Amino acid sequence: MSESPLAANPYEVLGVAPTASDDDLKRAYRRRLRQAHPDTGGSSAEFDRVQQAWQRIGTPSARYAYDSGADVGAGGSAAWTSGSAGGAGGARRGDSRPNAKSHGHPGGMYRERYLAMMREWVGRGAALDDPYDPQLVRSAPREIRHTLAAAVAEEKTATALATLGIGFTIWHDVVAGAGPDDKVDHVVLGPTGLWAVLSEDWGGPVKVKRGDLIGEGLASGEKPLHQLGMRAKTIARSAKVKFSGLVIVVEDTQAPASLTELGSVRGAQGMLVERSRLVNLLRTGLPGVGVGGTDLFEVRTRLQASIRFV
């Protein structure tokens, strides 16, 4: 099961309350298996989710481990603690190749916001020994969990981007407007072009509709690609550069395909990509997409002079 703070927990997957008896849990598991089986109108993905949920809480020892937060695979404290997902300079262990040059603090703004929101929700003066305690996170309102999920998504993407190598330069958490949320998560410059990258985790699958994204986790009227395009335009105007691509990165299995074209936005190619495919996309680029003959050093100099961080 996903380690996302927004992921449905095993009790939700099985359709029972956390206080359900062991017998009720078994009956719910058998019922959900029948409902989720592909031969009875379900799907293989849902069938797998039910089985994984049972593995997490199907025995007294497993259930105790999950309920107490000892099951790190369920999204435990260690999985969400700041820095555990990897920082901007985090290279793969055993890989001696130089990393891409990185600037800024990926996920930093959302980490600070999450801690402030969590303290406010718990209550002023109340003890908050571990703001990433899995029981605490699971019980928090969706807005708080989404903020943590966004921070973790940025950190994971930053770790992947670092492996692009010395031919690339990356700026994280770049100011892209006057509002507190007006930022671009990652600006990536390399031989294949200039890319504006949004890292997201909406807690479930997304689909493409009319050139943008829809899904249960997205707010009504939310248009991630359009929003990313507007923010990239702000940076482009300030630095007098042109973006080659706009990339929305989601968790693996959350997109209809590993790589989906979303159409052109203000001259930049929109893409939806699963994180495992991101580095390959940026290294190889897209046909006809690049820096338009502009010298990379000049573009880098313009960006370095104009970029500000949140």
Position 87 scores a pLDDT of 47
Position 89 scores a pLDDT of 44
Position 162 scores a pLDDT of 95
Q: What is the DSSP letter of 16?
A: -
> CA separation (Å) from 68 to 10, 54, 64, 132, 135?
14, 16, 6, 13, 7
Position 294 scores a pLDDT of 63
Position 276 scores a pLDDT of 95
Token output for 23: 């017998």
- The whole-model pTM stands at 0.83
Position 129 scores a pLDDT of 87
End-to-end CA distance of the chain: 33
Sequence-ordered list of residues with C-beta below 8 angstroms from that of 50, at least 6 positions apart, any chain: 13, 14, 29, 32, 33, 36
- Residues across the chain: 310
- Residue 272's H or E segment, with its range, is strand 268-274
Position 30 scores a pLDDT of 94
Could you say which residues of the chain have pLDDT below 50? 1, 75, 86-93
Closest CA to 80 of 140, 124, 120, 13: 140
